A and B are shown apart, each in its own frame.
Chain A
Amino acid sequence: MSLLELKNISKIYGELKALDNVSLHVDQGEWVAIMGPSGSGKSTMMNIIGCMDKPTKGEVLLDGVDISRESSKALTDIRRDKIGLIFQQFHMVNYLTAVENVMVSQYYHSMPDEKEALEALERVGLRERARHLPSQLSGGEQQRVCVARALINHPELILADEPTGNLDEANENIVLDLFARLHQEGTTLIVVTHDPEVAEAAQRTIVLEHGRIAREVINENFGK
């Protein structure tokens, strides 16, 4: 069953075509990696899928709703209800503790529940660090908090932009293991990455070049 469908989308900034007539289909529960060199349109695609931007042309169907025609307020609601975002720079709120960072996401979604937030931190192995501020956490720990924050509202889609870009190998493996668990639980994952090893962890890899899909690679070894 399709969760996301991009239909001939383009994003044009003046003379520059950041995305040029791209079409993509992502099924529910699928794990897709998006790769490509700098300037290939990865971030633009992530912004459009993440309801942070709109395409100049084309349609973006998320769970059957064309988000390319929605208002800014509606996009905020869709993002809050359906998408969990993870960034390379972590982007934690620096004056809130780990558990409070998770609870902020709950607050804007529905109702803060500290017990549930602590359980989410437990899932990422950070129950003991719940009362620490971001400045007291390592990069890997901060990213794991962000994973907990992204999944706390049970989103249909986890959208991660270079989630392991600032992590060492050990922490990269921890995050990929977490993604694997989420995938097994049925969560749809779209991971934007430069790293071929991270891309290989996904079921399918989309390679972007000059704003177009250059090729698509199915990971034959996925799940083995």
Chain B
Amino acid sequence: MKILPLSVKNLARKPGRTTALVLLTAFLALAVFGGSVITLSLRAGLRSLEARLGADIILVPSEAESKVSFRNMFLQGTTGAFYMDASVAEKALEVPGVEKAAPQTFLASLKADCCSVKIQVIGIDPSRDFTVQPWIARSLKNELGDMEVAVGCKVGAGIGETIRIYEQRCKVTACLEPTGTGLDTAVYCNMKTMDTLLAAAEAKGVSHRISSGDDSVVSAVYIKVRDGYDIGDVNTALTGKLRKVTAVRTRSMLTGVSDSLAGISRTVTAMIVVIWVLAFVILLLAYTLIVRERSREFAVLRLLGASRNMLGRMALYESAVCGLIGGIAGTGIAAVGVFSFSALIEGSLGLPYLIPGFSTILCLAAGTILLSVAVSALTSAFAAWRLSRVNPGTALRDGA
């Protein structure tokens, strides 16, 4: 018989008390792990969005804001399209300070017989693109061929499969890594494929024509500002030069997201802190009451020859076991909840949401469990230490 089995026997033979302590610790672990995963996912989503947007300025038709919120297209994956003359990209390059101008063309498929699924199709020009192409390159070695598409991770089509867009069959050649943004629900193709799809859409009554009547259209132009130039100045210059075009600084677009994220992050962190402070106090009270209730038992053990250290270690082991079981249970429950309902959480938050990688989750889980064990041990050790100062003879007489 060693101290640990003695502790385990006590826990096993006091199931009610043990369950209550485990549940309390599990609640703590659940709050920390669940809250942390949500916060980290939001931060990762924002970082991913920043990386995917990758541009300093985005040019869109002036009508884009009124017709469909292009912010929502990026953030929440809502489908929609707006068009402007393709020459905007060339004209933008004439503005001093513009280093790169990469056009993209959008097309929303229909929830109808002609299309496999309602999605956002984005046409890119691989020769000029600097935002989406690096992302596609991670999943596809070659450039996208004609009538080939790369699909976001949430489109639900695998490599080699064919998806139908306005009766046109496009072969899936790459599945892209998740970004936690609306980009995950989009399909990417080259401009030639997009031209074919635009023509097919027009045949179905979905027009991409603009008032100029030009066939060559784009939806957005991503601008990279040359080093040494002020983005604000370039933005102003672009707005002045290009008619019926809105120049949006991506930072301002992300600021709203960032502010929302910071707000949610603060709320979640505050909740975690409040829960932990409350739980710390509750645990301290619980262990103080338990240790006090066991004062007679501790006194007997002291009289049988147990030192203060031995009793402290015994209390520590017991609470550590409770903390460990509670930590594992709470983390497990939180993991099941957070991962099973990630789509629901993402939808209700309306923000980029990218669950961190396995190693980060593993570290977070281990940290949460360690924290649960540490807090349990700390609170019980404090209570046990206070009790160990009492003379065993006195404790026995008073506790009898």
Contacts and interface: CB of A to CB of B under 8 A. Distances in A.
A132 interface: no
B43 interface: no
A221 interface: no
B303 A79 contact: yes
Interface string A102-114: 0111011100100
A49 B127 CA distance: 95
Interface string B1-30: 110001001100110000000000000000
A94 B400 contact: no
B388 to A, nearest CB: 10
A95 B14 contact: yes
Nearest to B6: A104
Contacts of B391: 52-53
A31 interface: no
Contact of A108 (B304, B397, B400): B304
B296 A108 contact: no
A95 B5 CA distance: 12
Given A53-B391, A93-B300, A108-B301, A43 B10 contact: no
A92 B310 CA distance: 18
Contact of B301 (A53, A89, A93): A93
Interface string B297-313: 10111111111001000
User: Contact residue range for chain A?
Assistant: 20 to 34
A171 interface: no
A96 interface: yes
A53 B392 CA distance: 9
Nearest to A113: B1
A34 interface: no
B397 to A, nearest CB: 7
Interface in A140-199: 149
A100 B1 contact: yes
Interface in A92-137: 92-96, 100, 103-105, 107-109, 112, 133
B393 interface: yes
Nearest to B389: A72
Interface string B268-298: 0000000000000000000000000000110
B56 to A, nearest CB: 69
A76, A105, A133 pick with most chain B CB within 10 angstroms? A76
B9 A108 contact: no
A87 B396 contact: yes
B393 A95 contact: no
A201 interface: no
B92 to A, nearest CB: 78
Nearest to A52: B393
A91 interface: yes
A43 B1 CA distance: 32
Nearest to A108: B305
A107 B307 contact: no
Given A47-B393, A50-B393, A107-B2, A73 B307 contact: yes
A89 B393 contact: no
A89 B400 CA distance: 7
Contacts of A212: none
Contacts of A149: 304
29 contacts: A43-B397, A47-B393, A50-B303, A52-B303, A53-B391, A73-B307, A76-B302, A76-B306, A76-B307, A77-B305, A80-B305, A85-B303, A91-B299, A91-B300, A91-B400, A93-B300, A95-B13, A96-B9, A100-B1, A100-B9, A104-B1, A104-B304, A105-B304, A105-B305, A108-B306, A109-B304, A109-B305, A112-B1, A133-B13
Interface of B: 1-2, 6, 9-10, 13-14, 296-297, 299-307, 310, 391-393, 396-397, 400
Please give me the 3 A-B residue pairs with the lowest Cβ-Cβ distance, nearest first.
A80-B305, A52-B393, A108-B305
Given A80-B305, A105-B304, 6 more contacts: A52-B391, A53-B391, A95-B13, A104-B6, A104-B301, A109-B304
